[in-house]
Amino acid sequence: MAPQGLIAHGRGEAFDYLFGETTPKSSRLATKAAVALLLSARNPVISVNGNTAALVPREIVKLARSVPAQLEINLFHKSAAREQRIASLLKRNGAINVLGASASAKVRIPGVASARRSVDPRGIGGADVVLVPLEDGDRAEALRKTGKMVIAIDLNPMSRTSQTASVTIVDNILRAIPELVSCTLRMKHLSRSRLRAITSSFDNQGNLSRVIGDMVRYMHGWM
Ligand code: ATP
């Protein structure tokens, strides 16, 4: 994990205490909407950064296999050596194909200044739905601008990522990914029209307000 990754992790943990380190009820609704989006996507892709690989390597591979979705490594602190290490960690945990770790053709996401702008055209570049755990706001916003549906996992409901995503799961990634896997297995056999009904009835802004309400109620319990 990069040192900046450790700081981002600490920021996340601070928010986790504000929920009592449990999954808020409102986040379960977002998980259901996220699964409906992933299952109805034409080309769903899971973006993997250093923190995600370090925290949930086995579970993220399980999720990719159960949807199925592609895995693409996308790093802020990019180096070929880090990409290779993360790719082999994912492969040791059962991944068959991992994008983003070779010098294959890359396309740019307009509006992203960091190294994260460079993506694989078969993966994030051509995706209609992208799951972006522990994202930075710039890239989440830029992905939305290219017309992709973005699913974020972020413990801070007020971050730019949370506010710009199409579906935001406010939860610790350690709990959110296993929950996404079991929800995917439960919803896998739903019809397309049922999946569409779930996604179109989901209101991300409204749900984020409910998440903040859950946080405030939990803190009231301490007063
Ligand atoms: P933004 O640009 O979206 O406003 P930021 O500048 O804080 O946010 P990053 O530094 O990339 O963005 O931080 C990543 C986000 O990941 C933070 O909002 C943090 O709350 C969240 N986060 C960190 N660890 C976890 C975790 N284990 N589970 C879920 N979210 C986490």
| Residue 221 CB neighbour total at 10 angstroms | 7
84 — pLDDT class (breaks 50, 70, 90): very high
Task: Over range 190-198, report the average pLDDT.
Answer: 97
Distance 137 CA to ligand 1 centre (A): 9
What's the predicted TM-score (pTM) here? 0.96
Q: From the alpha carbon of 173, which atom of ligand 1 is closest?
A: 28
What is the distance of C-alpha 222 from the center of its chain?
31
Task: Over range 37-64, report the average pLDDT.
Answer: 97
In three-state secondary structure terms, 71 is strand
21 — pLDDT class (breaks 50, 70, 90): very high
**What is the structure's pLDDT at 114?**
86
115 — pLDDT class (breaks 50, 70, 90): confident
Q: What percent of the chain has pLDDT over 70?
A: 99
Distance 194 CA to ligand 1 centre (A): 32
Q: What are the tens digits of pLDDT across the range 1-18?
A: 678 888 989 999 999 999
141 — pLDDT class (breaks 50, 70, 90): very high
Task: Over range 51-67, report the average pLDDT.
Answer: 97
The pLDDT of residue 57 is above 90: yes
| Residue 141 CB neighbour total at 10 angstroms | 18
Distance 17 CA to ligand 1 centre (A): 15
Task: State how far the alpha carbon of 117 is from the alpha carbons of 15, 101, 111, 139, 204, in Å.
Answer: 28, 14, 8, 7, 25
Q: In what side-by-side order are the strands of the sheet with 149-153?
A: 98-99, 70-73, 44-48, 129-133, 149-153, 167-169
How many whole angstroms separate alpha carbon 143 and alpha carbon 110? 9
How many whole angstroms separate alpha carbon 160 and alpha carbon 123? 24
**What is the structure's pLDDT at 186?**
98
To test the pocket of ligand 1, the residue of 134, 138, 153 to mutate (highest count of ligand atoms within 8 Å of its CB) is 134
**What is the structure's pLDDT at 116?**
86
Distance 43 CA to ligand 1 centre (A): 25
How many whole angstroms separate alpha carbon 70 and alpha carbon 2? 24
Omega into 68 within 30° of 0, i.e. cis? Answer: yes
**What is the structure's pLDDT at 182?**
97
Ligand 1 interacting residues, C-beta cut-off 6 A: 8-9, 11-12, 15, 134, 136-137, 153-156, 159-161, 172-173
The pLDDT of residue 113 is above 90: no
Among protein residues, the one whose CA lies closest to atom 19 of ligand 1 = 12
145 — pLDDT class (breaks 50, 70, 90): very high
Among protein residues, the one whose CA lies closest to atom 13 of ligand 1 = 8
- Please give the mean pLDDT across all residues of the chain: 95
Largest CA distance in the chain: 56
Least Cα distance to 136 among 122, 150, 120 occurs for 150
Task: Over range 174-202, report the average pLDDT.
Answer: 98
**What is the structure's pLDDT at 104?**
74
Task: Over range 19-48, report the average pLDDT.
Answer: 96
| Beta-sheet pairing, 118-119 with 107-108 | antiparallel
153 — pLDDT class (breaks 50, 70, 90): very high
**What is the structure's pLDDT at 148?**
97
